[in-house]
Amino acid sequence: MEQRITLITLGVSDLARSKAFYEALGWRGQEVQETVFFQAGGLGLVLWSREKLAADCGLEAGPPPSGFGGIALAHNVRSDAEVDALLALVEKAGGTVTKPPAVNAIGFYSSAFTDPDGHAWEVAHNPAFPLAEDGTVTLPDFGADR
């Protein structure tokens, strides 16, 4: 299995609401057959009905998790000011700021929010994880065994 991911699909309960939220953050995508596709670097971020996505995975949709769904997406930026600016945009777009921007225990500036379906995003400026000009990240060599 090559170490790569092709698509991240977020199950949503109201496609128009979710699309509007991500568009308010500046994302632009294509809506096709009740699905929204955003190009996100070398992969796709997709919004699709939670029920249809669960069925496509051979799973019962069940009720949405009341709290944390178990996965967090991180969007790292290049300065503390960018963290603040993005979180301000999230609030304006109707997202829920679950962790206001602050220096965390590790010593970098980070924050978190949830989208309209409760999907968790972290927004951080972490100089230890430098971003290339195209936004890709190369994990540091921690000196750990591989």
Q: Which of residues 66-85 bind a copy of itself (CB under 8 A)?
A: 66-76
HSE-CB at 128 with a 13 A cutoff on CA atoms is: 8
Applying the rule CB under 8 A, the residues between 1 and 30 that interact with a copy of itself are 1-11, 25-30
Query: How many angstroms separate the CA atoms of 15 and 28, rounded?
Result: 14
- Binder of a copy of itself out of 20, 34, 64, 103 (CB under 8 A): 64
Long-range contacts of 35-42 (CB under 8 A, 24+ apart): 40/8, 41/134, 41/135, 41/136, 42/4, 42/136
Applying the rule CB under 8 A, the residues between 95 and 124 that interact with a copy of itself are 98-99, 104, 110, 112, 114, 117-120, 122, 124
* CA 1, chain centre distance (Å): 24
Query: How many angstroms separate the CA atoms of 3 and 26, rounded?
Result: 28
- Binder of a copy of itself out of 65, 94, 103, 127 (CB under 8 A): 65
**DSSP label at 23?**
H
Our finding on whether 127 is near a copy of itself (CB under 8 A) is no
Q: How far is the CB of 95 from a copy of itself (least distance, A)?
A: 11
- Binder of a copy of itself out of 14, 15, 49, 61 (CB under 8 A): 61
Number of residues that bind a copy of itself (CB under 8 A): 79
Our finding on whether 133 is near a copy of itself (CB under 8 A) is no
Q: How far is the CB of 87 from a copy of itself (least distance, A)?
A: 11
Our finding on whether 38 is near a copy of itself (CB under 8 A) is yes
Q: How many CB atoms are closer than 10 A to CB 105?
A: 6
- Binder of a copy of itself out of 16, 20, 34, 57 (CB under 8 A): 57
Q: Which of 115, 123, 122, 41 is nearest to 81 (CA)?
A: 123
